[in-house]
Chain A
Amino acid sequence: MKYQVLVRLKPGVLDVQGKAVENGLKDKKFDAIRNVRVGRVIELEVDGVAAPEAKAQVDEVCKLLLANPVIEQYEIKEVA
């Protein structure tokens, strides 16, 4: 099973990277672009484990490591 995990900062948490991207674009005449938020996509495969258990493992890994619940939220997508 292949999964994509999308990790992003919770709303309200200052996204310093997003701000940098936004400011960079302003100088290039894209000053209509607002609220840039930078997230992270993590792809992973789970081998030889049935789907519900595989997804449960991915969820556990998200909580343990991939996302920090203090500042981040995550979504798990099955891709194949």
Chain B
Amino acid sequence: MKVAVVVFPGTNCEQDVHHVYGRLLKQEAFPVWHRETDLKGADVVVLPGGFSYGDYLRTGALAKLSPVMNAVKAHAEAGGKVVGICNGFQILCESGLLPGVLLENVGRRFLSRFVNIRVESTASFFTSGMTAGDVITCPIAHFQGNYFAEQPVLDDLEKRGQVVFRYCDKQGNVRPDDRGLNVNGSCRAIAGISNRAGNVVGLMPHPERAVESLIGFVGGASGLTPFQPAA
């Protein structure tokens, strides 16, 4: 599996993603600079986290104009796999590849902490190797992670199984009004979504930072699981 890791000015999680695909999963992973227009035959395109363009104007807004995004859109439209993590999720929303937008956290704080997320749908490529109801623990680190879309859009996402992850407690209970769980105030506690076809996924948490046994991630579903190539 070939994995293109897109790097914008201000991206800062590309090494973490590269570590997961290249070193842990032994896949062919390579960086693609945002001015490039060729994804070099990638099967999976990753938009990693960071602060592309310094988050100027709105998070992800300027990145959508980068030359590489035409190639990412073409890849997605042809059914190619794309995952955006954190800032990458914000870029996918701004680009129109995913519906909705990420607003500032309700508590007006940058949140850097662990959260639990529950797998809601296994229809997306990113969760196809997981089981609905699986809970994984991984970090978040964001100021704009509050997922927002109009009610009809949210209803549609639910109906079509496009809600991929929700914030929950350790046992997998979801309580959208509980700020201890839905820490950024996202609509319906949504932590990640997919497009209709399931080949484009965006999520705010960082599963790529929850992959090493050294820091306690062993056994069961972990942050590593969604990155595994399809069997």
A65 within 8 Å of B (CB atoms): yes
A48 and B150 alpha carbons, distance in the complex (Å): 40
Residues of chain B from 52 to 72 with CB closer than 8 A to chain A in the complex: 57-58, 61-62, 65
Tell me, rounded to whole Å, the shortest Cβ–Cβ distance linking B38 to chain A. 24
B67 to nearest A CB, angstroms? 15
A1 within 8 A of B: no
Residue of B nearest to A64 (CB): B65
Collect the chain A residues with CB atoms within 8 Å of residue B108's CB: 16, 19-20
Chain A residue nearest to B64 (CB atoms) is A65
Binds B, one of A27-35, A50-58, A66-74: A66-74
- Contact mask B97-139 → A, CB, 8 Å, 1/0? 0011101111010000000000000000000000000000000
- Of the four ranges (under 10, 10 to 19, 20 to 34, 35 or more), the interface on chain B belongs to 20 to 34
Pair A65/B61 contact, Cβ less than 8 Å: yes
Contact B106 A65, beta carbon cutoff 8 Å = no
| Interface pair B101/A71, CB less than 8 Å apart | yes
Query: B149 at interface (Cβ–Cβ under 8 A)?
Result: yes
Asked if A13 is at the interface of the complex by the 8 Å CB criterion, the answer is yes
Q: B104 contacts which chain A residues (CB < 8 A)?
A: 16-17
Can you list 21 residue pairs at the A/B interface with Cβ under 8 Å? A13-B103, A14-B103, A14-B106, A14-B148, A14-B185, A16-B104, A16-B105, A16-B106, A16-B146, A19-B108, A20-B108, A64-B65, A65-B57, A65-B61, A66-B57, A68-B94, A68-B101, A70-B148, A70-B150, A71-B103, A71-B148
Chain B residues at the A interface, C-beta cutoff of 8 Å: 57-58, 61-62, 65, 93-94, 99-101, 103-106, 108, 146, 148-150, 185
